[in-house]
Every structure is written in C-alpha cells, then in structure tokens.
Structure 1
C-alpha cells in the first residue's frame, strides 16, 4: 500500500506543479509502474498536499526500490539514475516546453519566460535544490567591494562501488559527446554519465547560428544558465564571440552572459564544447566602478575604462552593440599578439599561444556593456600550475582554475574546506580544551595561515572563530584574484596596463 500511495503522491505533485493534467493521470501512473517493473497496482486515493519539492516522495520510492531489488546497488549514483527516470515520467515533451516558453516570451516578455523555465527546471528536480541548499555562502568586504564566497557541498561524492562499476559501463562510442551536448535531453544516463530524462532546452538564435538555453543542474546563483552551441566544437574566443554575447543580452536584457577563456589553466572545466554562462544576478565585478578612463579616438561613442578590480579588466559601454563588438575585437587581436617581458607576459612560447580574454556582456538600460578580462596561461618553474593562477601559498584554500564565475567575484571553493575549517577553528579558539593536534592532516596545510590569523586578532574563541575564518577566506580569495591578474594593481603593473592599451589602434 505504501508504494501505491507514494506513486499517487508523485502524480499529485506533477498535477500541482502543472507538469501534467488530470487527463495524464493513468498514463503517468503506467509510466512509473513500467520504470519500477510493476505489472499492476491497486490505485489508492491520496489527499491533496502542497510539496515544494518531490525529494521526500522520491526518497520513499527509492527506498522501496532498494528493498525490492529494483536497484543494482543502493548508491547515490544508482539512486540518481532511478529518481531522474521517475521524474521523466512527469516531464512534458521538448516541443511542449519550447511552445510554452515562446508563448510566455510573446505575452509577458523574456524576464517572465526565463523565470518560469527556471522554476520548471527546479520543479522537475533537474536543478536539485535540496543539494544546493547545503552550500555554505557568505559575503566578505574587501578593497574591491563585497565578494561572494561559496563552499560547494551540493555535488555528492561518487561511491567507490559506482566508480568501479562505471569502468565497465562506458560505451564504445562517446554518446553524448559531453555533458553539454543537446543529445543529453531525455538521455537515460549511465554510471559514468548523468541521467537527463528531466532535462529540456530552449532554442536560441545567435547571429544566425543555432544555440540552446538551459540551466546548470547545480546553480551557483539566481537563474544560472548555460547557452550552448548546437555543434560539439571546442571553445574559441574571437570577434564572433562578442557579437553573440551582445545579441543574447539584446534579447534577454535582464541577464548577463559571459564566456570562459578558451585556453587551459585560465579556462573553465569544459573546453571541448563552445558555450557561455549567464543568469539573473549582479556579480561583484559588475558593481565595481571604473577607476581610470580610457579613450579610443576612433570610437568616440564608446565609454571605456580600467575597472577597479584585482584582475585586469577593460570595460566598454555604448548604445551601439556593433561598435562595441568592433572595438572589443581590436582589443582582443592586440592582446593575442602582445608581450611585455618586464611583467612576465609573453604572447606565445614555442608556438603555444598564451593570451586570451574572458568576456562578459550585460545591459545598463539602453547601454550595452562589455567587460574584457585579460588572461595569460603561461607557466614557470616557480609557478608550474600557472604564473597568473592561484600561487602555492593559497593552495590550502584553492588551487583550481579561476573560471568565469570566479573572475566576476564569486569564489567556488572545494567541499573539503567545511570540515577543515571546523577543525582549524577548534585549534585556533582559545576556549577549546580538546582542540585537534597540529599534525591532524585536516588542518596541517592551514597552520601557517592560521597562525597569521591568531596574531591579527586580539581574541579568537569559539563564539567568533567561524566569522573570523569566513572573513579571512574572503581576503584570501581577493589575493587569488590578484594572482590571476596579468597587470598587478601596483604602479609598475598599471603602467604596463597603459602600455598595452596604447597599442590598440
């Protein structure tokens, strides 16, 4: 009786969220029965209930499935494959989702259309809001304004059984070719690739090309979207990139849209498929002002300046997107060729290109705005992971690439930090009697930093240590962004920045 009740509750959830109608009740039940390998069941009546999320209902069904041999192993990976398949029974077709989106675009405009599609993506459990809620977030005031910090606890760790089983589950051909490809829509998934029966995408035309809008399943900010190219082609920054970004924000003026750089070290995690990231959120970098104006005589209708930001950012503003793109293209072409040995910048070595740009587009009323973040991925003996990359002295906090989201001032820090900081806090607090040993591997890497904190604050105790550590992590992240800046914020670096700008003609 309980499994019958939970099946009916899941169908009722779909009705409440308008994923299905009452005409779909029997159809949906039969789809779920097929997924659970049940040939029949005695339907039961359930009272209407408002469920913000289907997670509790799905958990009950998954527990039943584990007890009745419907799961090969009761691991997070296997449970995710099954609960996505169950939710897929409630999700309208791609055609219907697109039709609804386009109707809302015509009637209520892009802001409402994206808000509804975002809500839909959460309702069908494609965006796993229960896991995202586990992330720890806070703001830290710095010399560059408030920056955003997130400790990423939303992505579950792979179970060892699932890792071992995945080795034997890989296909002879790679399908889909990556996690972004349009072929992920409705895909059943496997142990080494996420299930996507509850995934839908919206077609977007950019400069005559077919692209698609979707949301990140583990969003880091409001309406964290991905705009992906129809074809599986590598990331490539060029003038066409600026045209596409500006075309998108012309249609969706409430969103920003940006691109990771197209080179390893300074790029994001997926360089194999050309894509952008955007959303309905104002990042710290967007709030930063321009602390030095720039003039480009051949572009009198463009306002420009160096942004007060730890990384090296040129901001361009104009009411004409075509003019903005033309100037951005000239800056990009100049930067790709530019070297300045006095500040360790080389355009290429041994035929390998090092210079590229992380671009971000947004609207300010009638004005278009482009931020061009200058990047260089060269390495050295002193900095084998990257000269303009987090340096070794901050690797205890973060050593991963600085991608688009972090460039704009939102730190995405590894989940390991939650436990490590808890233990470090116990070690630093004066009123804790059973503090861990400095030899504890969870805190050993943080000891030098921790001792600096102890000397900085007159009193560190259990009631204030967490707040202190949060603020100090924010300062470390500001330092990390300074490491990633190609032109440093000192006088030598800013003079070098001006020298580069003078080459743009």
Structure 2
C-alpha cells in the first residue's frame, strides 16, 4: 500500500460518509497532499479497504512522522490529524444550518446528525474510547457504571519537555479548553488541536450558548453546553432556568451542571458549562425514598431519592414553578448549618454549600434533581468531609463531579494493570500488588475464598470495585442514608416550609 493509495482511500471514505461530493475529490486530495508536503500525486489502481476514516488518518500521520514532516510528539500528531480531517468538513455555519433544518422535523434528528458528524469527523475519538474498560455492577442503589479510562493518550517525556521549553501553555488564546473560539483552532504545544471541531449555537434565556460533544464520550451522546462568555461556573436561578429551557428544546436529552465550588465541582470551574446526553444513569432510574410537601408549591411533587448522595427531586408541568422552588431550596441550603452532621454553611465567610442540578423531561413533566453538596474540610479529612475518604483513595481520590454523582465511575487507567495483579493474588499466583491495594486484596480474599475460582474471579473483582464506588458516593453524601442522616435530612426539609 502506497501513500497515494491511502490518500485515495481516505478521499473515497469522505465521499461515502457524505462529507464531500465526488466533485470535491481533486480539491480535497490536493489539500491532503499539501499537509503531507507531497508535491505530486501518482494515480494508482483503486483498492477497497476495511479501514475506516480514523485508521486511514492514522496511517497518514505515521507517514508524516516517518518523513519528518512533523515530529513524533503527541500534540504535533494531533494537530496534523485534525487538519487532515478538516479538509473534508464544511464551515461551521453550514453544519449549524443543517442541524436546524433537521430540528424543524424533530430535535432528535438534529442531534442524531450532529453526533454522527462529530464521530465521523474524528472529533469524538471513538477508536480511543473503545479502549476503555466499561461494565455495570449491581449494588443496593441499582446498577452502577464502572469505567476505567484508557482513552486519553499519555503525554510522553518529549511532549512535556517541549511544553516547558516553548512556554506555549501560557498563551491566553483560547482562554480555556471550553471557549467557543476553540472551534477550528489549529492547536499548539500544550493546547489540543480543534481544526475538525464544530459547535452549534443554542440560544438560552437571552444568551448564546453552544452545543458540542465531548471528544472522549463517557456515555451515549455525552454532550457539553458552554456559555459564549468566558466566566466562572455559577449555580443560581438563571442556571436552573437554562437547564429547563434546554430540555424543553431537546426533550430526549438530560442536562446537568457540576457544582460551582472547589472539591465538589468538576475539573473546569473557570468556564460556565453543563453536560448532557442520552443515557439512563442509575440515579435517573432510582426510586423515591419518600415524598414531602412544599407548601408554597402545591403543583410540585417533591421527594428524596433513594441514592447515596442527598438528592431532592422536583417534578411539575410548570417550568417556572420548578425554577422558583429550586431557587428557594438553593437559597435555604446555602445558609444551612447542622454541626451534628458536620454541615457548616461557611467558614469565616467562605461558602461551603451548593447544589449539583440535573434536569430532564419524564412522562411529559419537567424534572429537576437537586443534589446537595458541601465542600468543607477538616484535619481528619483535608480533601473534604463529603469527598472520597482515605480508605477508598486507592480507587478514587479525585473530585466527585456530575458524572459520578449520577452513578458512573470514571477511574484512573492505572487500575487496569493493578487489578490484574490483584487477580493473580486471589488465584495464588506470583504478583506485584501495590501496597495501597494490599489490605483490600486481603479482604476480598477472605470474603470470597470459599467460592473463588478462575472462572468467577473477574466477576468478583468487578463487584468489589463497584462496592468501592458505592462507598465513594456514600462518602460524598451530606446526609447519610442511616437513621441519623435521614433525621437530619428531615430537619432540613422542614426549613423549606418555614
């Protein structure tokens, strides 16, 4: 297979995917040749291929490295890959126009088109995502999702060295990874290429917001909705209004927000954004633990969800009533303290209480989940009282954001090899179990020794990992699911009617 045949195959795949028309083939081919620094093209017999677009792009990138067109470092390869794909893609306005043409028929048709576009354009890294380990595990809270994240490529030493030498990480454009001006950005050392990136403008409550998909989707149609303005995350009445306005426009999607405080917030608090998609999380399917009345809002069904975190679920046909009720609950929660269960609203004026909200439409009604969060720390729990505690840090030490809140664990790549060593230990084979896993491995062995076999050891490990994630979520709940926690939760709920 020659480089010219690979170019021809990629162009043919572009036609097949309806990115370009047959009339465009010479133009696109010449754009590809230019990026590969090839001055001519040799016509060769066409050959079919089982490779898809990402595979063919990877072949071209490898060629460019071998011919020293680019250096063999991650960001250079990512830049070329995105630029190669951009040769096939229409301008953002064309993508957006088609999105809204389809939206006139059905909102689902519009998102189906944009999701497939984002995958075919190799912006969503489906080949890398396929490397992730993913399974469901049964717990008392339902089937939790466990993902060991193997999709994000590791930075090699040369990449890190180049970032330090060039100091390009300090360039203030784009302002952050979520800013709208990333659309079409070529990338640089320390900032990912976005040449093949397209976003859709979605007006919400008098503001411009933009819809895109995550390049590393953790669940079906994992989308990001970002503010046009680069501003900090904020949970307030306007946020509730935007979330409900979005699901009104796209009723087949849920949309939620990370909390707006450190520890309980997500990884990027410097840009106002939400995450949505089409996936039935365990929390979504969780039943009511009990219902309660909101006297000021008789049209709203209010309940506490049977879930390890503290979740108030509001449901109504009246969107504005939900916005008002959620705003009232947020205001009460921000000022609420109960030292008997370690909840303080603030420390010397620094706030601790906030909410992780999730909106959806269910049974033709608006539904809003309000997950109560608190980011207080102590000497005993320096990373957070309502944060994964030290006994689960060997599994999960990072912040519990929106995705984890809903019941999907995103766990570090190191666990793939570390679990393999624990498996060897359980089977009585030579192993190198990490010190921070040894106590856990012994506990698993003691619990399951009588029935543990080579055939069921993987299932046992998966279930034990799921139990650890359940503990992570329980640690993060402000009102625990025991009697003391439920009584404390009831005390807070009484304040909502005062």
TM-score by length of 1: 0.96
Question: Could you tell me which of 453, 462, 486 is aligned with 1:461?
Answer: 453
Tell me, what secondary structure is at the counterpart of 1:329? helix
Tell me, what secondary structure is at the counterpart of 1:305? strand
Tell me, what secondary structure is at the counterpart of 1:446? helix
Cα displacement string for residues 317-346 of structure 1 (whole angstroms, at most 9, x for unaligned residues): 000111011000000000000001010000
Q: Which residue of 2 aligns with 1:116?
A: 113
Unpaired segments ≥5 residues, structure 1: none
Unpaired segments ≥5 residues, structure 2: none
Compute the displacement of 1:33 (Å): 1.6
1:69 paired with 2:72, answer no
Tell me, what secondary structure is at the counterpart of 1:156? coil
| Residues 22-33 of structure 1 aligned to structure 2 (within 5 Å) | 22-33=22-33
Q: Which residue of 1 aligns with 2:42?
A: 42
Tell me, what secondary structure is at the counterpart of 2:166? coil
Tell me, what secondary structure is at the counterpart of 2:360? strand
Compute the RMSD of aligned alpha carbons. 1.3
User: 2: distance between equivalents of 1:353 and 1:43?
Assistant: 67
Compute the displacement of 1:399 (Å): 0.4
1:330 paired with 2:322, answer no
User: 2: distance between equivalents of 1:223 and 1:156?
Assistant: 21
1:15 paired with 2:45, answer no
Compute the displacement of 1:70 (Å): 0.6
Tell me, what secondary structure is at the counterpart of 2:143? strand
Q: Which residue of 2 aligns with 1:130?
A: 127
- Report if the CA contact (8 A) 2:186-2:195 is conserved: yes
Cα displacement string for residues 41-75 of structure 1 (whole angstroms, at most 9, x for unaligned residues): 22335245565x31221222122212211122x23
Q: Which residue of 1 aligns with 2:196?
A: 198
- Report if the CA contact (8 A) 1:306-1:315 is conserved: yes
Compute the displacement of 1:467 (Å): 1.3
Q: Which residue of 1 aligns with 2:441?
A: 450
1:474 paired with 2:466, answer yes
User: 2: distance between equivalents of 1:160 and 1:121?
Assistant: 30
Cα displacement string for residues 269-306 of structure 1 (whole angstroms, at most 9, x for unaligned residues): 01000000000111100000111101011111100100
Q: Which residue of 2 aligns with 1:367?
A: 365
- Report if the CA contact (8 A) 1:377-1:388 is conserved: yes
Cα displacement string for residues 444-472 of structure 1 (whole angstroms, at most 9, x for unaligned residues): 21111111111111233333222111100
Tell me, what secondary structure is at the counterpart of 2:302? strand
Q: Which residue of 2 aligns with 1:488?
A: 480
Q: Which residue of 1 aligns with 2:147?
A: 150
Cα displacement string for residues 83-139 of structure 1 (whole angstroms, at most 9, x for unaligned residues): 1111111111101100111111112x1111101110110101001101100111111
Compute the displacement of 1:474 (Å): 0.3
Tell me, what secondary structure is at the counterpart of 1:167? helix
Question: Could you tell me which of 213, 229, 243 is aligned with 2:211?
Answer: 213
User: 1: distance between equivalents of 2:363 and 2:189?
Assistant: 46
Q: Which residue of 2 aligns with 1:398?
A: 396
- Report if the CA contact (8 A) 2:75-2:193 is conserved: no
User: 1: distance between equivalents of 2:154 and 2:70?
Assistant: 19
Tell me, what secondary structure is at the counterpart of 1:281? coil
Q: Which residue of 2 aligns with 1:247?
A: 245
Cα displacement string for residues 213-241 of structure 1 (whole angstroms, at most 9, x for unaligned residues): 00000000000000000011010000111
User: 1: distance between equivalents of 2:93 and 2:264?
Assistant: 37
- Report if the CA contact (8 A) 1:77-1:159 is conserved: no
Given the superposition, is the C-alpha separation of residues 169 and 45 from structure 1 closer, same or farther in structure 2, using an over 3 Å criterion? farther
- Report if the CA contact (8 A) 1:233-1:274 is conserved: yes
User: 2: distance between equivalents of 1:49 and 1:42?
Assistant: 19
1:420 paired with 2:418, answer yes
User: 2: distance between equivalents of 1:169 and 1:375?
Assistant: 40
